[in-house]
Amino acid sequence: MTDKLEQQIEALIFASEAPVTVKEMQAALKEAFEADFKAEEIEEAIERLRQKYADEAFAFEVVPIAGGYQFMSKGAYHPIIGVWLKQRMKKRLSRAALETLAIIAYKQPVAKSEMEKIRGVSCDYSVQKLLEKELVTIVGRGEGPGKPLLYGTSEKFMDYFGIKDIGDLPKPKDFKTPDSEIGEQAPIEEEVANGAPAAGESPAETPQETAQAEEQQTPTETTEPQQQPQTPEPESQLAEELPATPQEQAQQTEEE
């Protein structure tokens, strides 16, 4: 194990984002290999690593910093790294990412399901990009079903937007109406010129339009042909039409 100690320490320093102290290395090695390592052994291995990466064949080196050790790029390569970082920072956030970031900033700690409920669309991609840019961070888990992850803003978020505390964010009431509305606001009153109708009034109807409206409003009545009253026929006419009885015929014969 002693012959691989240098490689084990090299892996620890490489994997860490912050400087690793000798005590942290001792604790990790003891738990991994169930063996105690003296601080002198670890420091000797670190010194061999420093000599190894001091060679010009490597663009980075092991640097003692903040009580520990960390891999850092050499000064000769700082200009090209600075250009790359500058180009990376030029990439702007998309509209979807900005909307998601605003929800997290004002609603934190907030779950992804609540973000999607507010936006109406999935927020997986936007949240992933914000995590990659280190503008948001996972702050815990919720109490709901499945205990969803809760998101909040990071210190880099406050540095990026130049605020000292999350309470320095502008309140929704601080936004002015012209800044939060699309288009121009219509005037409250409009001048009436040349007989034009005022705002909110309907234009006057022409005589033709009035007549058409009355015709449309008046229901059309279906006129049925009126039956003429039948006058009763005189009795004499009815008598002529009816045939004479035998008694009437006998009476007529006597009279003749």
* Range(s) of the chain covered by CATH 1.10.10.10: 2-77, 95-173
- Round to whole Å and give the CA distance between 99 and 204: 48
Is residue 115 within 8 Å of 100, Cβ to Cβ? yes
Is residue 104 within 8 Å of 152, Cβ to Cβ? yes
User: Is 95-173 a CATH 1.10.10.10 domain?
Assistant: yes
Which of the following CATH numbers is that of domain 2-77: 3.40.50.460, 1.25.10.10, 1.10.579.10, 1.10.10.10? Answer: 1.10.10.10
Provide the phi-psi class of 177: left if phi over 0, else alpha when psi is between -120 and 50, else beta: alpha
| pTM as predicted | 0.43
- Round to whole Å and give the CA distance between 124 and 115: 10
Is residue 28 within 8 Å of 10, Cβ to Cβ? no
pLDDT tens string, the chain, 256 residues long: the values are 566 899 999 999 999 988 999 999 999 999 998 889 999 999 999 999 999 999 999 999 999 998 899 999 999 999 999 898 778 766 678 889 989 999 999 988 999 999 999 999 999 999 998 998 889 999 998 888 888 999 999 888 887 777 777 888 887 776 665 544 544 554 444 444 445 454 444 455 555 655 565 555 555 444 445 555 555 555 444 444 555 566 666 666 666 5
